């Protein structure tokens, strides 16, 4: 999966930034409209982290603020969505 430079979640366009992170794989900032992904992850971890941060953004955008902060819920959803990408080989 190629990570895009921007992605629209609801009516908000998020900028995707790949950069070195110290203590986390990625972050989501709804107010700055940014998703930051660590640039030193494996291809699989990058994809899973991107999806994880997208789930945070989606839950936030639909008004599920409490759920958007629930890391177990977010990671569980991200893992299930990530499995869909394993069904198609990358070109």
pLDDT at position 37 is 97
Which ranges constitute the DSSP H helices of 1-91? Answer: 43-61, 65-68, 71-86
pLDDT, averaged across the chain = 92
The pLDDT tens digits for 31-67 are 999 999 999 999 999 999 999 999 999 999 999 999 9
- Angle among Cα 56, 12, 30 to the nearest 5 degrees reads 40
Q: Is 17 exposed, middle or buried (0-12, 13-18, 19+ CB in 10 A)?
A: middle
Q: What is the pTM of this model?
A: 0.91
């Amino acid at each position: 999966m190629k990570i895009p430079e921007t992605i629209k979640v609801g009516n908000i366009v998020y900028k995707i930034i790949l950069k070195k992170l110290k203590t986390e794989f990625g972050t989501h900032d709804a107010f700055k409209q940014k998703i930051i992904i660590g640039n030193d992850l494996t291809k699989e971890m990058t994809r899973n982290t991107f999806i994880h941060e997208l789930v945070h953004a989606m839950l936030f955008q639909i008004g599920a603020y409490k759920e958007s902060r629930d890391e177990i819920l977010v990671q569980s959803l991200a893992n299930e969505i990530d499995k869909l990408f394993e069904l198609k080989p990358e070109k």
